[in-house]
């Protein structure tokens, strides 16, 4: 992500650089060169200086260290900052019931499983969680993985063989693309949410060939939703399987937060529903849900499952508690959408461009790299945490500040952020 930012950021650096910072940067680069000297494989390390140069400008926006719970307000460098860059859509990461469930699991099972699901790492709590997730999304069975990224790697690479085809939206998450690369099939990408483009590509593939269409339900940068009805119609016409990555749809769309397929009433048309636990469900890990035969196949063929340590007991227990709260308290999702509407209306009235966002992910388009980093830094200085998104997260020229709403954000917090967004947007000439 940083490599392409070097020229724009360094060129826009302030003229009053702190000399000690510049000297430290030079020393850092010399140390890297010395460490990699004589090792051809590490030439890329020796030549990589972008991060150090951006740090020297004071605009480096990554790896900010939080020393508190992930909530609407966090502590960074001893100072309270409003968090508008979290994926905790339902605000459950600090919920007492979730934390108590994790503690109880550690007391019962210990801190880890010391093995893979395939051998000694399957606990009864894993099976209980899988049954709950299958019920939640309306499928026969589910399978949990240690991370969401692993789900997409393990499912796509296991299902798609060298004579098969994968069709993927160009804005699909990186984990989907990596899963496609691991498979032996041919990857064909279509323009973002372009159903005509998808149709034209499907028409060129032999009818009897294996085909998997894999898309995000909610796209993590743009905040828009896949046109699932038309996609499923095309899939049925061309005998293709459908997989929906609902990392940002679970807890946000559908009845009781059951996701994109539920939102459109198309659960029976989506063969594979993927979800993660690190967002609405307040933990770490991921799952795939499908018919029982497909899940059994993945249990015995997904290398990412078979050769990885299984999900920790505390994480599994936290997800179970989060699912129970989500289903029992539908008002949480209603509060999430009210908070989203307030923030979205405020940003639009200030003159910001939010693109085609339809969800609690609100992209504020800057469309210029240095301005995006400056916007992020100035908001941080004013007490608001947001995420800058640049290439390759988005295409060059589509750089943006990404805001994410939580059910637990108050009106006062949203209004504070809007005030700062308006002030800094004017400073930078964005509104």
CA atoms within 13 A on the CB side of 211: 24
Q: Which phi-psi region, left, alpha or beta, contains residue 265 (left: φ > 0; alpha: ψ -120 to 50)?
A: left
DSSP 355-377: TT--SSEEEEE--SHHHHHHHHH
Q: Which residues is 353 bridged to in the sheet?
A: none
- Of 173, 238, 279, 420, the catalytic one is 279
C-alpha span between 332 and 41 (Å, rounded)? 51
- Of 95, 192, 248, 420, the catalytic one is 248
- Of 220, 278, 283, 302, the catalytic one is 220
C-alpha span between 431 and 281 (Å, rounded)? 36
User: Minimal CA–CA distance to 269: which of 250, 246, 243?
Assistant: 243
**Furthest C-alpha separation in the chain:** 65
173 is catalytic: no
CA dihedral for 193, 196, 197, 199, sign (positive or negative): positive
116 is catalytic: no
12 is catalytic: no
Radius of gyration over every alpha carbon of the chain, rounded to an integer in angstroms:
23
312 exposure class (CB count in 10 Å sphere: 0-12, 13-18, 19+): buried
Residue that the structure tokens 């991370």 belong to: 147
Residue that the structure tokens 């992020």 belong to: 376
User: Minimal CA–CA distance to 377: which of 420, 317, 348?
Assistant: 420
1 to each of 62, 173, 388, how far by Cα in Å? 11, 14, 11
Residues serving a catalytic function are: 220, 248, 279
């Amino acid at each position: 992500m940083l490599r392409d930012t070097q020229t724009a950021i360094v060129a826009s650096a302030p003229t009053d650089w702190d000399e000690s910072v510049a000297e430290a940067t030079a020393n850092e680069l010399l140390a890297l060169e010395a460490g990699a000297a004589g090792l051809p494989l590490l030439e890329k390390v020796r030549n990589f200086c972008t991060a150090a140069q951006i740090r020297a400008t004071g605009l480096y926006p990554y790896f900010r260290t939080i020393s508190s719970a992930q909530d609407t307000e966090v502590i960074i460098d001893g100072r309270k900052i409003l968090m508008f860059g979290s994926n905790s859509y339902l605000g459950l990461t600090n919920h007492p019931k979730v934390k108590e469930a994790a503690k109880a699991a550690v007391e019962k099972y210990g801190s880890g499983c010391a093995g893979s699901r395939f051998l000694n790492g399957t606990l009864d709590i894993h099976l209980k969680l899988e049954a709950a997730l299958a019920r939640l999304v309306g499928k026969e069975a589910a399978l949990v993985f240690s991370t969401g990224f692993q789900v997409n790697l393990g499912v796509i690479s296991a299902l798609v063989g060298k004579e098969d085809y994968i069709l993927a939206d160009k804005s699909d998450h990186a984990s989907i693309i990596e899963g496609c690369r691991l498979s032996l099939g041919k990857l064909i990408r279509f323009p973002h949410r372009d159903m005509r483009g998808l149709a034209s590509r499907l028409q060129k593939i032999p009818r009897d060939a294996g085909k998997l269409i894999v898309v995000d339900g909610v796209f993590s940068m743009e905040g828009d939703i896949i046109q699932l009805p038309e996609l499923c119609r095309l899939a049925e016409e061309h005998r293709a399987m459908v997989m929906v990555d609902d990392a940002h749809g679970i807890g946000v769309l559908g009845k009781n937060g059951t996701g994109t397929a539920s939102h459109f009433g198309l659960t029976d048309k989506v063969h594979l529903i993927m979800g993660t636990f690190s967002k609405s469900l307040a933990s770490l890990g991921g799952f795939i849900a499908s018919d029982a035969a497909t899940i059994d196949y993945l249990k015995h063929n997904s290398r990412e499952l078979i050769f990885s340590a299984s999900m920790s007991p505390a994480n599994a227990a936290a997800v179970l508690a989060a699912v129970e709260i989500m289903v029992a308290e539908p008002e949480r999702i209603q509060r999430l959408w009210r908070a989203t509407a307030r923030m979205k209306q405020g940003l639009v009235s200030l003159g910001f461009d939010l693109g085609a966002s339809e969800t609690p992910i609100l992209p504020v388009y800057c469309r210029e790299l240095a301005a995006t980093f400056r916007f992020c830094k100035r908001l941080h200085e004013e007490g608001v945490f947001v995420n800058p998104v640049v290439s390759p997260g988005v295409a060059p020229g589509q750089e943006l500040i990404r805001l994410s709403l939580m059910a637990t954000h108050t009106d006062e917090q949203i209004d504070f952020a809007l005030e700062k967004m308006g002030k800094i947007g004017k400073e930078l000439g964005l509104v």
